[in-house]
Every structure is written in structure tokens, then in C-alpha cells.
Amino acid sequence: MSSYKIKQSDSVYNILVKISIILFVLFTTWLLFEHFVNRPPELRYYLSGNTDFKDKRYDSSLKNYLKAYSFDQNDVYIIEGIARSYMELNDFNNSFKYFDLAIKTDNQFAPAYANLGVLFDRNKDYVNAIKYYEIALRLDNELSTGMHWIDRLLYDVREKPPTIMDRLNYLNQQMLLSEDERILSIEEINDKQINFEK
């Protein structure tokens, strides 16, 4: 007698197969419910904001981050998402306001300091850029390595952008020169300086 026929005639085996299928369906349904339906609204809006930000739809990312913020005003990741969106929209006053709020919410959150340094750098306030880059690196030395290859893949960044350590070293070297010899802003390099997400 073949093993197939034995399995067909074995009622315990058939019951176990049916139980396994039912459990699999129930578990999958529960996972989908938890992942898509039962998420807190602030998390749904925050993740949508991240997707929009990665796709460079900064108006939309800002709207989603602000919706997330309306549900949770203490989440430093949401606050920093708002600040980064404003920065990319060239609204430097609001960007500064939310970076400042992120730092007040969690004064150990290094990406907020790093991105505040980028904000000052873009505004040609190099003294404050240096200050905030140094604070960020002191809090989290991993920021000196720059974007992880997975993040570069997600953001479609083909060349490795300069790190805040690279930029800090460059600015410090330029500050040693006399004012008329300094070259603090090179557009091709500045455009490659991206903000940091963690």
C-alpha cells in the first residue's frame, strides 16, 4: 500500500492537516490585522511620512508627520520628521523650531543635532554647523560612518555622500585659513550632503 493511500485513509492525519491549515489562516489573518488595521494612527501616519520623504514628496511627508504629531507630541522621530520635511521645503524657520523641539524632547537624540548642523550649513552659518556636528558625533559616533548601504539603496543614493565627519573636518580646515582664502560652500558638494534619519 502506498504512503499516499495510507495518508488518505488515516483520519488522524487528515484532522491534523486541517487543524494546521486553520491555524495558519488564523495566524496570518491576525498578523495582517495587527500590521494594517490595528496600528495606532500616529504610527500609520509616521510610516506614510517616511515613505513620502524617501520618495521626495516633502509636502506630503510634512502633512503625514503633522498628522502623526497631532496624536503624539512626545515622539522625537515624528518631531524630527517634521523638521526634516520643513528643511527640504526650504522653510528654515519652522525647520529650526522643530529641530529645537526634538532636542528639548530628547537631548540625547544625535540625528536631531546632526540635521540641525546640516540646516545651519545650508544657511551658511558655519560656526553653528560645526557646533552641532560636533555635538552629534559626541552623542553617536556611528554618525561618522555615514549612510548605511541599505539606506543608500532605499534612498537611491548611488554615490556615498559625505558624512558629517567629512564635512566637519572640511569646515574646520577652512576655518584655519584667513577669511579671504576660505571656500566654505561648494554647491556640488553641498547638494550631496543629505539629512540623517535613524
How much is the mean pLDDT over the chain? 82
1 pLDDT above the threshold of 50:
no
Task: Estimate the share of the chain in helix, then strand, then coil, as percent rounded to the nearest 5.
Answer: 75, 0, 25
* The three grid cell numbers given for residue 19, joined into one nine-digit string: 487543524
198 pLDDT above the threshold of 60:
no
124 pLDDT above the threshold of 50:
yes
Tell me 161's DSSP state.
P
Q: Which of 61, 186, 198, 70 is nearest to 121 (CA)?
A: 186
pLDDT in tens, 74-108: 999 999 999 999 999 999 999 999 999 999 999 99
pLDDT in tens, 135-156: 999 998 887 776 655 665 655 6
Please give the angle made by the CA atoms of 13, 32 and 17, to the nearest 5 degrees.
Answer: 5
Q: Structure pTM?
A: 0.70
Q: Which residues contact 174 (CB under 8 A, 6 or more apart)?
A: 126, 182, 183, 184
More confident residue, 61 or 144: 61
Q: Which of 111, 92, 121, 117 is nearest to 151 (CA)?
A: 111
Instruction: Please compute the mean of the pLDDT values over residues 126-130 and round it to a whole number.
Output: 91
According to the model, what pLDDT value does residue 158 have?
65
Dihedral angle of Cα 26, 30, 36, 37, to the nearest 10 degrees:
110
Determine contact, residues 197/151, Cβ cutoff 8 Å: yes
